[in-house]
Amino acid sequence: MARRTRIKDLFKSETEAQYTVMGWVRTFRNNQFIALNDGSCLANLQAVVDFENTDAALLKRITTGAAIKIDGKLVASQGKGQTVELIAQSIEILGDCDAEIYPLQPKKHSLEFLREIAHLRFRTGTFSAIFRIRHALTFGIHKFFNDRNFVNIHSPIVTGSDAEGAGEMFQVTTLDLNNIPRNEDGSINYKKDFFGKQTNLTVSGQLEAELGALALCDVYTFGPTFRAENSNTSRHLAEFWMIEPEVAFADLHDNMDLAEDMLKYLIQYVLDHCAEDLAFLEQRLIEEEKQKPLAERSEMSLIEKLSFCLEQPFERLTYTEAIEILKNSTPNKKGKFQFPIDKWGADLQSEHERYLVEKHFKKPVILTNYPKEIKAFYMRMDDDGKTVRAMDVLFPGIGEIIGGSQREERYDKLLKRMEEMHIPAEEMSWFLDTRRYGTVPHAGFGLGFERLVLFVTGMSNIRDVIPFPRFPGSAEF
């Protein structure tokens, strides 16, 4: 095809010169002004059509959604709203679009409606901005770790282990479900399955990352993870992406520092690289907030909220300290929490996490040293035998964005904990080997990528920050 200039580049190009652009028509006003978008940036290019000298049949085909190619001359714009415009000299229709039935009309559509046409929502300003920011964050994450000499590990997606020792996994099988091979005792004969054993989609790459860290020292994974939990919330997906750094010769404090540095770096990265998209999403949010009652409106705009997180050191406190705050909090005393906090040991719900962040401290919070009963088997036991060296990073509007810990590196203690939690040690001998052969203190965490994108874009439903969301009852596209 002919060489095209991206619209983003065109805005910075010399005027009084010839260019070719290709893209999709957003609107066509008065048979004269085409607003053209090619996804390279938020702004549309205005192309001016000489309608008196343009074939009427061609003009009719310039409809919202049509793909077109324009050759023309770039000039300084007379009109308001743009600095340059393209004087169209020839227009070619690349792909017609029947505007009568095209689902994306040039008007405001609800996010719920756009979710149903996720295959087309990339073509809206909001979603193109979200997915450009998602890309910038992906790139920023690799840059952050690469600059610090971390090695990216591709952990397996099909796994024979269950990292958390809990259910909620998707099974992977090629067995004929209408004719399942059985053992004599009636149980399923997995020896006949593809891998010769029962396998699942991974819920986390952490255990494999630990193996890497105990040789390469600083590693991270960035891959898809799957959870078959039936939680139809605005913060959970069945398929989501996770970033899991794992560091040898590191303790819980190093882990907290890494998490805080990384989050601040990424927020700054987006402020530096996605200014136009952020400004657009901020405006969108302001409009949306206007629909809410005054008391529920957020005190800060999107960009203020992002900058605010950069300026403050995150508040660090223990679970035990947090429970005291929550127990004595007004919403707890007034019975406003759905899950009242009455005693030490309670698992914290999103409502509690958000109270701490948004009402009490008014900044991101890192909670540490949780009761062992509510955390995974691999977290390092504290000397009191009651708590473990866990850390959760809590963010405004989101709740938990990161979960991590210093790992239990002592063989005997790890084995004991696995027995207590009924985790079959025989199947995990490869994991235990790291504690047998040159074990060292190490720590790591998991950042839910979509929760970060949610925070940075100011969107409120996680289904709107991944191109094709998977959740209970839905795996479209």
Residues 328-367 touching ligand ATP, rule: CB under 6 A, are none
Name which position in 121, 451, 463, 470 contacts ligand ATP (CB under 6 A): 451
Kindly list the strands in the beta sheet with 158-159, ordered across the sheet, starting from the edge strand earlier in the chain.
Answer: 158-159, 199-201, 171-172
Should residue 459 be labelled a site residue for ligand ATP when binding is judged by CB under 6 A? no
Residues 428-447 touching ligand ATP, rule: CB under 6 A, are 446
Name which position in 193, 358, 450, 464 contacts ligand ATP (CB under 6 A): 450
Name which position in 237, 281, 306, 453 contacts ligand ATP (CB under 6 A): 237
Minimum distance from CB of 240 to ligand ATP (Å)? 4
| Closest CB to ligand ATP among residues 38, 450 | 450
Rounded CA separation 23/65 (Å): 9
x/- map, 392-431, ligand ATP, by CB under 6 A? --------xxxx----------------------------
Minimum distance from CB of 187 to ligand ATP (Å)? 29
Minimum distance from CB of 462 to ligand ATP (Å)? 6
Number of residues that bind ligand ATP (CB under 6 A): 13
Should residue 223 be labelled a site residue for ligand ATP when binding is judged by CB under 6 A? no
| Closest CB to ligand ATP among residues 284, 352 | 352
Locus of tokens 């017609």:
96
| Closest CB to ligand ATP among residues 237, 357 | 237
| Closest CB to ligand ATP among residues 24, 222 | 222
Q: Phi, psi (5° rounding) for residue 13?
A: -90, 165
| Closest CB to ligand ATP among residues 209, 237 | 237
* CA-to-CA separations, 434 to 89, 246, 442, in angstroms, rounded: 68, 14, 11
Name which position in 240, 280, 361, 370 contacts ligand ATP (CB under 6 A): 240
Minimum distance from CB of 237 to ligand ATP (Å)? 4
Residue 240 structure tokens:
């989501």
| Closest CB to ligand ATP among residues 213, 398 | 398
Should residue 227 be labelled a site residue for ligand ATP when binding is judged by CB under 6 A? yes
Residues 6+ apart with CB under 8 A from 236: 227, 229, 462, 471
| Closest CB to ligand ATP among residues 64, 349 | 349
Should residue 305 be labelled a site residue for ligand ATP when binding is judged by CB under 6 A? no
Residue nearest to ligand ATP (CB): 448
Should residue 236 be labelled a site residue for ligand ATP when binding is judged by CB under 6 A? yes
Residues of the shown chain interacting with ligand ATP in the complex, contacts defined by CB under 6 A: 227, 236-237, 240, 242, 400-403, 446, 448, 450-451
